[in-house]
Structure 1
Amino acid sequence: MPDLSEYERRFLSMLDELRDASDVEVLYEERGPVEEEIGDATEAFELIADEEGVVLDPSLHSSFLRFEGLSSHWAVERSEVYLTGEFSVRHLAAAMLTTGVEPAVDEPTDQQRKLYSELRAFDEQPRGGAGTLSALRIDPGMSQPEVWYCHPTRGVFRMDLGYPEYLETLLVTKGTYGWQYLFTDVSMRDIDFQGAVESIQNMLLIFPDLFPGHDYDHLRARLEARL
């Protein structure tokens, strides 16, 4: 494998954390390979600009991952709690060059159809997420993409964070199902979100013990604000 950046090594360390943690069963894992043909962030961003007419902000270089794929599907089963999660992060160029996700309704309005056609999936949960994914949206003239969370029946939710912040939060949540709702404008008292609430509560209960090197206070605060 080519020399990795410090940022890329942090994501492989996350996979190691899951592998090495007691009680965690890793059901599936993917570690690359590194995409070498596209090159570094500068070359990838030039490709995106040429193909899509989108000039991404150079500040996003620091969040660039060259892995063709980086995935984990895992579960923790204890006598008092069951927790599972998943992520499957695509190369940014692959995400940006593939536009459109399936609408969550059978007969979308023109506005809904337009929004879904503009989304570019970059983190998917294909094994246990029942069609959930996170996607980027960016128009020509924009330099920072929006981040949206897509549920196959509930619809799409604009997330209150950017692409770099999403990846940073993924390092902490490790793809716990439903964590994305913490960064959306929803009331998690709604019955539709009870499964996500239980998942997040279990994460906040056991992760400090399993992965003590991370800070969970901001996630607790976000959950409390939505209950």
Structure 2
Amino acid sequence: MVDRDPTPVERRFLDMIAKLKQSDAIDVRGERKGDISDVVEDTAAGFALLEELFGITLDPALVDHHVRYWELGIHWYEAGASVGAGGEFVLRELVDALMSGPPDAGSVRDEEEAALFGELRVIDYLPDSGENAFAAVRLAKDTLAPRTWVHWFPHGLFELELDYPGYLEALLLTRGFYGWQFLYADVRLADPAYAPLADLIRTGLDFLAAALPDPRYEELETRLADRLR
């Protein structure tokens, strides 16, 4: 593996992961940091190759939010707690994700959802937690649709109020605690069907507020309150 200088967005993720690992309040169960391939070392060249081979055009503005590592992520839990807060994310490099095709549609609920799966490309997933969940971008006429999506079994697919850069920014803020994506979805978490998700989010927010304080959590608290009404 050839060491390459991190870009600003990569450095922000590496620093966030480092702070999680350094916290006495957190146990790290796993970490992933893949190589940076020659194909995407130069982001603009990687985007051009994607267009040449697959006809997929990416907005040049995405360069500033391109995490070039093949995979980058962490799996963490509240230290010393058998039941407590936890989180996980594994980001996939965007060009590779778009080239890799759609996710397995084995858990779809109907034909409409199956058709939507065919347009999705996974950008973030949870390989170690046991949760059947992922986040994805959507291809629309060979470009990225404005919004990202989350799939969480058994609840299905939800469109998020986040574009791709927005997804990365929210992930940096939430540190990937379980269920955070639903703070950005049009969903009524007060519905009893979503009680486990609401508990995950409440537990995650309370833990972060104590272990890694950040005044920006106020936005997340407001979003949770809105979805619990």
Query: TM-score with structure 1 length normalisation?
Result: 0.91
Instruction: Tell me, in whole angstroms, the C-alpha distance in 1 between the residues paired with 2:80 and 2:71.
Output: 30
Superposed CA RMSD in Å reads: 2.0
Give the AA of the match of 1:55: T
- Taking the TM superposition and a 5 Å limit, the aligned residue runs for 1:77-226 are 77=79, 82-103=84-105, 105=107, 108-109=110-111, 111-140=112-141, 142-213=143-214, 215-226=216-227
The C-alpha deviation readout for 1:42-71, integer Å capped at 9, x for no partner, is 112112212322211111111011111101
Q: Once structures 1 and 2 are overlaid, which stretch shifts more, 14-23 or 76-85?
A: 76-85
Q: Secondary structure at the match of 1:189?
A: coil
Question: 1:49 and 1:209, CA in 2 relative to 1: closer, same or farther beyond 3 A?
Answer: same
Q: Which runs of 4+ in 1 moved over 4 A?
A: 77-81, 104-107
| Contact 2:31–2:74 (Cα < 8 Å) also in 1 | yes
Distance apart, 1:103 and its partner CA:
2.9
| Contact 2:138–2:144 (Cα < 8 Å) also in 1 | no
Distance apart, 1:79 and its partner CA:
6.6
Instruction: Tell me, in whole angstroms, the C-alpha distance in 2 between the residues paired with 1:214 and 1:171.
Output: 14
| Contact 1:55–1:140 (Cα < 8 Å) also in 2 | no
Question: 1:15 and 1:186, CA in 2 relative to 1: closer, same or farther beyond 3 A?
Answer: same
The C-alpha deviation readout for 1:95-125, integer Å capped at 9, x for no partner, is 111221233656632x322211111011000
For structure 1, the 5+ residue unaligned runs are: none
* Residue equivalent to 1:50: 52
| Match status 1:39 vs 2:50 | no
Question: 1:146 and 1:47, CA in 2 relative to 1: closer, same or farther beyond 3 A?
Answer: farther
% identical equivalent positions: 31
| Contact 2:179–2:197 (Cα < 8 Å) also in 1 | yes
Instruction: Tell me, in whole angstroms, the C-alpha distance in 2 between the residues paired with 1:106 and 1:92.
Output: 24
| Contact 1:57–1:144 (Cα < 8 Å) also in 2 | no
| Contact 1:103–1:155 (Cα < 8 Å) also in 2 | no
Instruction: Tell me, in whole angstroms, the C-alpha distance in 2 between the residues paired with 1:168 and 1:126.
Output: 21
Give the AA of the match of 1:205: D
Q: Once structures 1 and 2 are overlaid, which stretch shifts more, 159-168 or 36-45?
A: 36-45
Instruction: Tell me, in whole angstroms, the C-alpha distance in 2 between the residues paired with 1:222 and 1:64.
Output: 27
Paired residue total: 226
Distance apart, 1:189 and its partner CA:
0.6
For structure 2, the 5+ residue unaligned runs are: none
Distance apart, 1:31 and its partner CA:
2.1
| Contact 1:86–1:175 (Cα < 8 Å) also in 2 | yes
Instruction: Tell me, in whole angstroms, the C-alpha distance in 2 between the residues paired with 1:52 and 1:60.
Output: 18
Q: Secondary structure at the match of 1:7?
A: helix
Query: TM-score with structure 2 length normalisation?
Result: 0.91
Q: Once structures 1 and 2 are overlaid, which stretch shifts more, 76-85 or 86-95?
A: 76-85
| Contact 2:137–2:145 (Cα < 8 Å) also in 1 | no
